[in-house]
Amino acid sequence: MKFKSLILGSAAGLLAMGGAQAADLPVKAKAVEYVRICSLYGAGFFYIPGTDTCIKLGGYLRVDILGNTNSDDAGNYSGAAGSGNRLRNYYTWRSREDLNIDTRTATEYGVLRTFFDATFSWTTTNANVAGTIGPTQNAGVAGSDTIGVYYAFIQFAGFSLGKAISQFSMPWTNYPANNFDGLVGGGGDVTGVNQVSYTWQFGNGVSATISAQDQVAYYTSNLWNVNAGANVLSGTWGTNNFGGASSPDLVGMVRVDQAWGLFQASVAFHDNHAGFYTADERNGHPTDKWGWAGQLGFSVNNVFGVAGDSINISGVYTNGASRYNFQDLTPVTYAIYGGTGLAGAYGSVGVAGVSDAVYSATAASAMELTTTYGFRGGYNHNWNPYWSSGLYGAWAGVRYNSTAQNYICTAIAAQLTAGSTCNPDFNVGQVGFITRWTPVKNLTFSGDLTFTHLDQKFAGSTAVPSTGAPTPSAGRPSASYEFRDQNTLLFLFRAQRNW
């Protein structure tokens, strides 16, 4: 009996001790939810923890050093840059960081996508500052410290809503083979435009899109009232006179994407909506006129059997919608100065101006739409995995009809010497060459050289200054100037690390 009692007591003690020890054990921690790779949408995506949404972060850091330009990255075409004297920038410098965020979620309506892209930039200033002897460029002026929102859009069930590249533009936008930003001859809008678009996918690489996009920010050039503010030495044919925003631009696009390349046809319709003939609304206004633009382009991959080589070409025609040719990173007025051999002239100047339409307030006229046409193209060649080059060019022409020419030439008649020819039509031609070195993946150094020729149609010279005489660009004296075609050259060195 004593032995049995001892065994039972020991067992009870062990159970009591076991219960106490079990109570002292830590509670089991919840499993850690590690970041998981999302393979649904390509490399670089991962699941946001706790959700079924995939996210990808990307961007680049870029350093640009440019020679003979006041901007990044366009030529010396007007103002202090076009003056050709000591007030122009001999170089411009920029450092930039880009950040983009791409999210995607699978839904019963297809993929729900958001995309955001922003840049943080520091750039050499190109603003004039008042000085004791004319304007100066660099007298203690800090650089331009800016934040830019390029893209911010939602894509869902075929719709795209927000700031994205225009559906009119080719996939390579301004860059068929180049880094230079100011190429004429087609649609651009590399920093996106607010839009509502719908895309149909028909299969076999065939798609079509319709779009309504904001015209205010990037798709208006000039609506000139030629009876006021005309200045031949700045390429300005009147007072720019837009009314309020009236209608978005309407865009349609059809594209075929195949292994060999792609083909695209685009069309856009643009409402020209001017203000009043004078400051008083009782004096009326021109009736709105719709302009339009059409573009065809194609790309060929693996040219001559070389993997990665490509040819990109597009052509455009516009009537009353000039920004679809002279895209938003190109100027809409030109005043480039140079030397002269003409007796009595101080120097020479090439002048030109781009508009969507012109009208005469004096005649209470209708708007006369401006016609433009042009093309651009480039060939990219890979020498080996580390070196590649591109050859590119562009051309664009601007034509004013006889009525518009009459309005312009009447407004500037007193600014021309006797026997001079007034003709606001002009052409711009560009050619360039770029070479790139990629020593390691995602790090590229490039050098890009661009030549621009302004073929202006004025002949003779400006009048000797008097009351109401034209005003020249920065640092140029009020004197007589010979009208002459002009050239400008720009060099861009770029270092870029993508991530």
CATH code, domain with 146: 2.40.160
Which residue range(s) make up the domain with 292?
Answer: 60-99+134-498
State residue 244's pLDDT score.
93
pLDDT in tens, 413-460: 999 999 999 999 999 999 999 999 999 999 999 999 999 999 999 999
Is residue 49 situated within a structural domain? no
Neighbours of 480 (CB within 10 A): 19
| Kind and range of the H or E run holding 22 | helix 2-24
Contact 38, 459 (CB under 8 A): no
Is residue 51 situated within a structural domain? no
Is residue 31 situated within a structural domain? no
Is residue 221 situated within a structural domain? yes
Neighbours of 252 (CB within 10 A): 16
Alpha-carbon span 217 to 194, nearest angstrom: 9
Is residue 17 situated within a structural domain? no
Name which of 28, 58, 27 is nearest 42 in CA terms. 58
DSSP H helices, 339-464, are: 402-411
pLDDT in tens, 181-212: 999 999 888 999 999 999 999 999 999 999 99
State residue 25's pLDDT score.
52
Name which of 146, 147, 144 is nearest 124 in CA terms. 144
Q: How far is CA 133 from the centre of its chain?
A: 35
Is residue 285 situated within a structural domain? yes
Strands 357-359 vs 223-225: parallel, antiparallel or unpaired: parallel
Q: 205: helix, coil or strand?
A: coil
Is residue 378 situated within a structural domain? yes
Q: Is 488 left (phi over 0), alpha (psi -120 to 50) or beta?
A: beta
Number of domains the chain is built from: 1
What's the alpha-carbon Rg for the chain, to the nearest Å? 31
Q: Which residue stretches of the chain have pLDDT < 50?
A: 1-4, 6-8, 10-23, 128-137, 139-141
Is residue 88 situated within a structural domain? yes
